Structure 1
């Protein structure tokens, strides 16, 4: 008799396990909602990009936007290329 029961359970397992899993999931979902309570409305959080833009604007408030470094002054401080670091200065 047991081999017939095991064969039937193996054959009809998807039809039995899906409703059981569905019920367990639904009960767990509603139990978690009951424990946590209703969600509270959250404030809109600013993204990192928005925070960065605001910080950069605050830094520029007291400065003159027309007084900038020329391109030649900027190029003096650029590091040497990575490929030229190991070469000798003679070549």
Structure 2
């Protein structure tokens, strides 16, 4: 009996695969909706966040830029132990 069923499935695999995939998809979708929380917290739109960030940058003092301040000797980084003082 099993060889006949397997031969039928093997010859008609295209007609068997779609209903099986649909059933698995429906079960998975419903299981996920039961187990997961669908609440998504509110975030401002990206354009509004960008506009606020630009406004904050414009209101700051343009002469006081932290990234451009000289802090230490750039050539002193990654010095091997034999060359350290």
What TM-score do the two structures reach when normalised by structure 1? 0.46
**Structure with greater helix share of residues:** 2
The structure that has the greater radius of gyration is 1
Determine which structure has greater relative contact order: mean sequence separation of CA pairs < 8 Å that are 6+ residues apart, divided by chain length: 2
What TM-score, normalized by structure 2, do the two folds share?
A: 0.49
